[in-house]
Amino acid sequence: MPTALGDLAQRLGLDPDSPVLAVALTHSSHVAEHGGTSNERLEFLGDAVVDLAVADHLVREHPTLDEGQASLVRSRTVSEAALAAAASRLALGSCLRVGRGERKTGGLARPSLLADAFEAVVAALYLERGYEAARAFVRDALEPELARALAAPNRADPKSRLRQWAETSGRGIPVYEVTMTGPSHDPTYHATVRVAGDVAGRGRGRSKKAAESAAARAAWTGRDDA
């Protein structure tokens, strides 16, 4: 048993031979080459659990935050970069099963892959040990990111900042359109954001979230009241 997997399993309080944990650590590129089940469905579940765990913590432990501040803090704490940083501290890259192509192109260091794996692992913990265990793990694993976000609770990420501006100025909610180019193991995402029906910004990134953030940043820079 690899040390990294043993350490991770101990941190989670799970059996290192847990079938659910094995799925959480299996990327779709590995499934494409060897068969089995990828972590994509667990990632979907984990995304919701992480969001809830962070919101739960903010409501319980930081009652002075208003709704808007709590929303901004949560958004920054559960961003792709934040989840990828937590995954790196947990050495998830050493535990993941990926395909040869993904490994050759440095996929194990890709923020989107690491962030997705973090969410999948949280889902595995939730399914195996329940919500309270998952909530405590998320709180501890994201503590550095949470502390930074709480230190500046009014600071918004690009998408939140653009949405606030668009809504308060009567332009409605920004709408994102995302396309993908390149091979599935090394994709590039291209995002366009429309505000009040007009193209406001474009961006690209190695994940959908990164591309949308880049588009939002471009839209914010080019807004008509800047």
Distance CA 68, CA 124 (A): 30
Q: How far is CA 215 from CA 32, 36, 48, 55, 165, in A?
A: 31, 36, 24, 26, 15
Question: Does residue 206 contact residue 188 with C-beta atoms inside 8 Å?
Answer: yes
Query: What ranges make up the beta strands (E) of the chain?
Result: 175-181, 188-195, 198-205
Beta-carbon contacts of 196 under 8 Å, excluding residues fewer than 6 positions away, are 166, 171, 172
Angle at 138 between CA 156 and CA 54, to 5 degrees: 40
Q: 119, 145, 157, 212: which is the annotated catalytic residue?
A: 119
Question: Does residue 112 contact residue 206 with C-beta atoms inside 8 Å?
Answer: yes
- 47 a catalytic residue: yes
Q: 43, 47, 102, 157: which is the annotated catalytic residue?
A: 47
Residue type, 210: A
CB atoms within 10 A of CB 35: 7
**Residue positions annotated with a catalytic role:** 47, 119
